[in-house]
Structures are given as C-alpha cells and as structure tokens.
C-alpha cells in the first residue's frame, strides 16, 4: 500500500513594530503546529483556514490567564467551560450556544445505563432486576 505524502505548507509570517507575529497561508490566518497569532503582550490565538480552531486545548490563551475553547470559529467545549476567566468566572458553550452550568451538565454528563426492570435468567430461574 502506498503512503500519502503530506503536503508541505508555506507560511508567510508577518511581524509588526510591536512584535506581534501572524502566520498566514494564502492571506488567511493559519498554522497547524502552534498559534497563528502571537501578540506582543503574550496572548496567543490558534487559527486554521481563518477560523479560530484548536482541538485538545484552548484556541485563545491570554497572558492574564483567560482561556477560550473554539472549534470552527464557534465557542465550544464538551468537557468543561468554554471560557475561563482569571477571576474564576466561567461560561459554558456547545457549538456557539451558551448554557448555564446546570444545563450544560445535563447535556454532557453520560447517563449510566439502567438494568432496572430487566429480567435475567440464571440456572433456569428468572430474576427481575431493580434499580440501585
């Protein structure tokens, strides 16, 4: 079986007078191996094809500690708050839609399967399971 060669990407890196660095491909913010924008104040932004996007971590990391999770240019995180502020405040989003913490947890917590009410047979004898 033939292996596919990964295309090499040619980046244009612009650095302004303040020291902010921006990685672009074909005029769009884009970088696959790190943040596409590194602000001179220490803030970092991950962009893919001109959309805020990062899998497995926040797409915006601010020098003051604020973190924001973005996928395909929408605030999105299923395993916690999509925005964490340095003050400790948090906001929850799925696909760009904001939820209260309680509603977020209802939508994202996995429901434990229940065997209550099922009939099982063991050595020819039937038993009705009750919920724990």
Tell me if 37 sits within 8 A of 50, measured CB to CB: no
Q: Compute the C-alpha angle 105/63/11, nearest 5°.
A: 100
- pLDDT in 10s for each residue of the chain, 132 residues: 556 556 788 999 999 999 999 999 999 999 999 999 999 999 999 999 999 999 999 999 999 999 999 999 999 999 999 999 999 999 999 999 999 999 999 988 876 667 777 888 888 888 888 776
Q: 20 to each of 12, 13, 17, 101, 114, how far by Cα in Å?
A: 14, 10, 8, 35, 54
pLDDT at 113: 67
pLDDT at 66: 98
């Amino acid at each position: 079986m033939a292996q596919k060669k990964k295309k090499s990407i040619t980046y244009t890196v612009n650095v302004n007078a303040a020291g902010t660095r921006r990685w672009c491909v074909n005029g769009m913010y884009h970088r696959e191996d790190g943040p596409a924008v590194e602000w001179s104040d220490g803030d970092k932004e991950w962009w893919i094809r001109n959309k805020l996007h990062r899998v497995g971590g926040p797409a915006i990391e601010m020098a003051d500690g604020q973190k924001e999770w973005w996928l395909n240019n929408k605030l999105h995180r299923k395993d916690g708050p999509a925005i964490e502020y340095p003050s400790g405040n948090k906001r929850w989003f799925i696909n760009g839609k904001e939820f209260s913490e309680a509603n977020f947890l209802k939508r994202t917590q996995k429901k434990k399967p229940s065997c209550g009410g099922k009939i099982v047979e063991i050595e020819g004898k039937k038993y009705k399971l009750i919920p724990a």
